[in-house]
Amino acid sequence: MFSGSMPALVTPFQGGELDIETLKKLVEWHVGEGSNGLVPVGTTGESPTLTHREHEIVVEEVVKAAAGRIPVIAGAGSNNTLESIRLAQHAEKVGADGILVVTPYYNKPTQRGLIAHFTAVHDCCALPIIIYNIPPRSVIDMSPRTMGELAKLPRIVGVKDATGDLARVSAQRITCGVDFIQLSGEDGTAHGFNAQGGVGCISVTANVAPKLCAQLQAACKAGDYALALDIQDKLMPLHQAIFTEPGLVGVKYAMSRLDLCSEDVRLPLTGLADETRALVDAGLRHAGLMN
C-alpha cells in the first residue's frame, strides 16, 4: 500500500505566508523525480505553526496537485484527540490516501491512553492510518506490544518509526505481523531499517534529494543492498548536516540553494547558523547535487 521514498513535505513560505504556487511545483518535481508518495503537514511541514485553515489548505493543494499519481498521506496528528479526528475527517473529505497520526505529545498519555486515542481516530474515518512513533519529540514511546494491539484494527496499517532503534523493526514484526507496513522516520538509518524488514522511509532529505532517496529505496526493494549502501554513502554527509539544527530548517536551506523554495521558517525556529550552512553546502556537493 505505502512503500519506498516518501518526502515529509516542507511547507514553503514567502514573506511569512503560504507559498501555494511553489508547493504545487514541488509536488510536480517529486512526481518527476520518482518519489513514491508525499506526506504533507507533518513536523517537517511545520504543522505546529500552521493555523488549522492553513493545514487544511496545504493538504487540499497537495492532493489536487498529486492527482492520484502518487499517494498522499496527510498529517493528522495532535495531542488533542478531537482535533486529530477533525484533521482526519478533513483529509478523507479532500481525497487523501491515508493519514499520519503522531503519538500525542506533551500530555504524556499511558499505553492505555494511546490505544484509546488511536482507536478514536481509527473509528472516525475510513482512511488507512500510519502511526508516527517519535519519542524524542512526543516524550512517550509506543511499545511494540501496544502497537500490536492497535494493528488488530483494520485501518491501522503501519508505523513511521523514528525511535532510532533498528531492533524495533523485528520486535514489531512479531507483535504486528510481517505485513504491517514499517517505514523509517530517520534518514540516517533508513538503509539498515529496510534490512531488518522495513519497506521505506518518510524522509526529510528526500525534499532536496528525491531521486537519490528513491533509488536507495528501490535498490533495497530489489535486494541490492550493496548499491543501496553506495547511495547511502553519498547521502550520509547531507543527512548529518541537515539534522545539525532542526531538520526542516536544514532542508529548507538546502532547497533554497537549489532554487526549489525559500529558506523561510516560522518562529520559534530561525535560520541556520553560518557554520551549519557550510556543512549543508558540503553535503550537497558530496551528494553531487551542487557544484
CA dihedral 163, 105, 88, 36 (to 10 degrees): -30
Query: Within a domain: residue 242?
Result: no
Residues 229, 237: Cα–Cα separation, whole Å: 13
Task: For residue 281, tell me if it sits in a domain.
Answer: no
pLDDT given for residue 211 in this prediction? 98
The whole-model pTM stands at 0.97
Which amino acid belongs to residue 206?
Answer: A
| pLDDT score of 30 | 98
Residue 249 placed within a domain: no
**Domain hosting residue 63, numbered range:** 4-222
pLDDT for the residue numbered 176: 98
143 domain residue, yes or no: yes
CA proximity to 104, closest of 95, 96, 113, 112 = 113
Domain with 17 in it: what CATH number? 3.20.20.70
Grid cell, residue 141, equals 514511546
Is residue 141 included in any domain, yes or no? Answer: yes
- Residue 191: CA count within 13 A, CB half-sphere: 20
**Side chain identity at 157, as an amino acid letter?**
V
For residue 96, pLDDT over 90 is answered with: yes
- Does any domain span residue 276? no
Look at the chain and report how many structural domains it folds into. Answer: 1
List the catalytic residues: 132, 160
Q: In this predicted structure, what is the pLDDT of residue 1?
A: 86
Q: Is residue 258 part of a domain?
A: no
Beta strands in the chain (DSSP E): 4-7, 13-14, 17-18, 73-75, 98-102, 129-133, 156-161, 181-184, 200-203
Do residues 205 and 215 lie in contact, with contact meaning Cβ atoms separated by under 8 Å? no
pLDDT per position as a tens digit, 23-42: 999 999 999 999 999 999 99
Residue 15 in any domain: the answer is yes
